[in-house]
Structure 1
Amino acid sequence: MPVSPDVLDAVVKAYDVRGLVGDQLDEAFAHAFGAATAQVLLPDGGRLVVGHDMRPSSPVLAGAFAEGALARGVDVVDIGLASTDQLYFASGVLDAAGAMFTASHNPAAYNGIKLCRPGAVPVAIDTGLGDIRDLAPQIDRLPPAAPGLRTEQDLTDRFAAHVRSFVDPDALRPVPVAVDAGNGMAGHVWPAVVEGLPIETTPLFFELDGSFPNHPANPLEPENLRDLQAAVRAGGHALGLAFDGDADRVFAVDEQGRPVSSSLIGAVVADRLLARHPGASVLYNLICSHTVPETIEAAGGVAVRTRVGHSFIKRRMAETDAVYAVEHSGHYYFRDNYRADSGMIAALVLLEAVAAADAPLSEVVAPYDRYAGSGELNYEVADQRAAMDRVAAAFADRGRADTEDGLTVVTTDGWFNLRPSNTEPLLRLNVEADDEATMARLRDEVADLVTTG
């Protein structure tokens, strides 16, 4: 039975596929989507690398997807269990298109697909994903093709060695760190990455379990950090790290269990990379703290502002040959990682910084911690455009505004960005100022304008 266009419209998002297993994503869907992916991304044949996370449905869906691709004459390299950044590495090192089966931080009932072209080049709705969505319902109408060849290849050790290449092993010293894998793919990859390094890991929830029996693998939610915070405080660790389900994002808490902003982590990593690549360009998205571009410029780098979203960032990295890019959401991109994001690389560079300082994380980030930020606040509104217009009108003569991605306004009191979500009926607000009271006033004023129409 052909896959339903209604289902495709529901599950194909701006940058990937996400849906409920059984109701929306099943073997028939995966087979058709795999065939359409092969046809769109590799119309003249080639290789497609397929990996999957630890969710119970992932091997089945990945297998059906691979069969669909094989039926269109594409060779499939099955790398099995992998983190998303491992899949991007495989796409780069094998020069193959890629498909990763994961729903990242979403609940257990969900699964999804992240795609890339050869060399880990991103695939978004306007760069291939929309074409795949449109082709999938009619893929069976295409004439048959000679089937491709399926092989298996475990790249975990090769990926781990690649991650270690971003630090100087001889400069590392024993660093006690608690790591919460959330029963996700970090539990599979982290031990390989730190093998042979003087990193003293206290593991939390390293058992691969896509039912997430301990807590959701979503470190953005404060309640999901509580186990890590308790372990850090109890064990005398220099810091704690928490990964999301597919381990492409990493978040940190300091030695007292306090969450550390991703912008601060990004600034620390930028400093270290610019020491090795003097004068290089570094990208930051427009909701990062102002400490990020200030750090880049102070280190002699060229700070380049970009929109939110990995497809924009990777494209801009290629244009500027940027060595690194920071997203406030916990994604960190590295030129020498095929411009792909990697939670593992960012975590290891951060540990190198802690080792070099011979100090806990709070002391490492203190020089960068100059502003008060709101974090990302979400507001559900019936009319996004009307709410944005109200805010723009209220601040028309109160600062410098631009609309590169939503509305960004820099005032004498601080700055804010208000932008629509790509996937939900939400407006997302980020505010920063010199101190907490000023930030709160600016935050509350904008929030009142958004919510009272």
Structure 2
Amino acid sequence: MPPKFGTSGLRGLVDELTPDCVAAYVQAFLTSCPTGAGLCIGHDLRPSSPAIAAVVAAVARDRGSRVFDCGAVPTPALALRAQTRACAAVMVTGSHIPADRNGLKFYTPAGEITDAEQAAILSALAPAAAPAPSAPAEGDGSCAQDYLDRYARAFGPQALSGLRIGIHEHSTVARDLMAQAVRALGGQALPFDRSDTFVALDTEALAPELRHRLAAEVRAQGLNAILSADGDADRPLVVDDRGRVVPGDILGPLSARYLGAEILCTPVTSNSAVDAMGFTRVRRTAIGSPKVIEAMVAEGAGRRAVAGYEANGGFLLGFDAKGPAGPLPALMTRDSMLPALVPLVAAAERGITLSDFVDTVPPRFTAADRLTEFPPARARALIARLLEEPAALQLMLDGLGAEVARDLTDGLRLTLAGGDVVHLRPSGNAPELRCYGESALPERAAALVAGMLARVEHFRE
């Protein structure tokens, strides 16, 4: 997979993310985007990440930037630190993709780079030679602690009192912080499954065996919930007291409602149950946090109670909210800690279980999966064929339902007779074809996805 620059920054095979390649993109970023008072650098726990971070630091120092080394921290923690310091930031991470791949996420002092800034970086991209390793950057050991304090101040030391919370550690960079956050809010943290090798955990496409493993852990330890996240911790994984994985597009509106958001911005793939939850407006976007942020800004983020979230669970807070114990300032980047903690805090305040709190959402269920090694060009060609050939589309939907409406905001989203939804789209950051299903029953949503992907395999042959 040649290095690709898109909605999640730069992604590519580790072997192809050479020092010169990394230097070229970092140099283009520093040349074309505002960087403020310097550059904060963080990384995930992949074996390749520290060396890539060292190249980023050397390039920035070579260009005269002040560089702050935040170490192994969650992406939202790094974004918060950059916001506090009025600096730019580069996070070395491949997020949820396998360890043989990695990448860079770029932030200006204002937050995640926009589509316009992505274009500016590509325009400024030119061959570059990585400079020789430089002196160590300034250490910033308080980055993770400040991120933790954000939630401790907002929710208080008794918010999770009496709750037993499992922490599925694997190799998420937030594994220690999640346990610390639970303890800071008065809960008992019970870590398990720590891994010394990198685990590619995609919160939108969990393997069935992992779902069963987590449900069994809930039962075996009598847990009130399990918390986890993907590799760089901008996407949460939450399992309730019944052993059910709570989808990210349920965590999002529950968190937004508790915090007093009035307007929500979310991709077209997100669960439509949000439309019946009492928000002033729900604005749908194409996939990708830059699209969500663009919509949030258009809706008055910073002046109005606007929030955003994605189906993967990443939550963006576009206004200064208030927790039960203190302020919770805006942070317009995908965060896993907030949507993991808020539903637990809200349920505890009501004196009910997390599962009962989740069940206050109108019953609408989603499922998602993907086909790997499915290049975006092939996925786009498939969607074009389905749009151009009614017989092909009819074959694809055979046995699933008749089309009654379509949405081309991002890929092909079809509403079927009876209200079911199926959605195909090329991944924006990996050679994958994503499939989403939505229905009134969870089993039906999963069957829709499985059926669509089986039919896609027929077309791929």
- Which TM class, normalised by the smaller chain length? 0.7 to 0.9
Aligned length: 427
Alignment partner for residue 291 of structure 1, among 263, 269, 273?
273
The correspondence of residues 239-250 of structure 1 with structure 2, limited to 5 A, is 239-250=225-236
Q: What is aligned with 1:152?
A: 139
Shift in alpha-carbon separation, 1:134–1:413, aligned structure 2, 3 A: same
The answer as to 2:404 corresponding to 1:399 is: yes
Alpha-carbon distance between aligned partners in 1 of 2:37 and 2:416, rounded to the nearest angstrom? 52
CA contact (8 A) 2:3 2:10 kept: no
* Higher mean C-alpha deviation, range 314-323 or range 82-91: 314-323
Match of 1:312 among 257, 269, 291: 291
8 Å contact from structure 2 (residues 422, 438) kept in 1: yes
1:237 maps to 2:223: yes
How far residue 236 of structure 1 moved from its aligned partner, in angstroms, is 0.5
Q: What letter is aligned with 1:265?
A: L
User: Where in structure 2 are the equivalents of 1:31-42 lying within 5 Å?
Assistant: 31-42=23-34
Gaps of 5+ in 2: 319-328
Matched, 1:333 2:316: yes
C-alpha spacing 1:37/1:351, structure 2 compared with 1 (3 Å): same
C-alpha distance in 2 between matches for 1:136 and 1:445: 42
* Matched AA of 2:440: D
**Which of the residues 72, 80, 84 maps onto 1:81?**
72
1:4 alignment partner in structure 2: none
Partner deviation per Cα, 1:301-323 (whole Å, 9 max, x = no partner)? 32222222100001111111253
In the alignment, is the contact (CA less than 8 A) between 2:41 and 2:69 conserved in 1? yes
| 1:70 match | 61
Q: What TM-score comes out, normalization by structure 1 length? A: 0.82
Change (3 A) 1:326 1:227: same
- Give RMSD over aligned pairs: 3.3
Partner secondary structure for residue 266 of structure 1: helix
Question: Contact between 2:33 and 2:120, CA under 8 Å: does it hold in 1?
Answer: no
Q: Confirm or deny that 1:221 pairs with 2:206.
A: yes
Contact 2:158–2:186 under 8 Å retained in 1 = no
Residues 181, 217 of structure 1: 8 Å contact kept: no
Calculate the TM-score normalised by the size of structure 2.
Answer: 0.81
Give the match's secondary structure for 1:375: strand
Equivalent residues in 2 for 1:118-267, closer than 5 Å: 118-123=109-114, 126-133=115-122, 135-139=124-128, 150-154=137-141, 155-167=143-155, 169-206=157-194, 209=196, 211-212=197-198, 215-219=199-203, 220-222=205-207, 223-267=209-253
**Which whole-Å CA distance do the structure 2 matches of 1:203 and 1:339 have between them?**
29
Q: Distance in 2 between matches of 1:49 and 1:191?
A: 25
Deviation of 1:133 after TM superposition, in Å, equals 4.9
Shift of 1:41: 1.9
Q: 2:257 corresponds to which letter in structure 1? A: D
Contact 1:82 1:189 (C-alpha < 8 Å) held by counterparts: no
- Deviation digits for residues 22-46 of structure 1 (CA, Å, limit 9, x no counterpart): x212334333433332222248x74
Separation in 2, partners of 1:13, 1:306: 16
Measure the CA separation in 1 of the matches of 2:241 and 2:414.
35
Q: CA deviation at 1:184?
A: 2.2
Amino acid at match of 1:345: L
Change beyond 3 A, Cα 1:439–1:148: closer
CA offset digits 1:101-150 (Å, max 9, x no partner): 11222222222111111121325xx4334544564543469xx9xx9994
CA distance in 1, matches of 2:393, 2:178: 49
2:267–2:286 CA contact under 8 A, matched in 1? yes
Q: Which whole-Å deviations, capped at 9, do the CAs of 1:375-418 have from their partners, x for residues lacking one?
A: 345485573211344469759x9523332222333344113333
Q: Determine the C-alpha separation between the residues in 1 that align with 2:345 and 2:365.
A: 26
Q: Which moved more, 1:131-140 or 1:56-65?
A: 131-140
Counterparts of 1:319 and 1:370, CA distance in 2: 30
Q: Does 1:357 align with 2:344?
A: no
Shift of 1:192: 3.9
Cα distance in 2 for partners of 1:216, 1:202 equals 22
Among all aligned residue pairs of Structure 1 and Structure 2, give the percentage whose two residues are the same amino acid.
26
Distance 1:64 1:377 in 2: 33
State the secondary structure of the residue aligned to 1:324.
strand
Deviates more, 1:182-191 or 1:244-253: 182-191
**Between 218-227 and 78-87, the greater mean CA deviation after superposition:** 218-227
Aligned AA (1:221): L
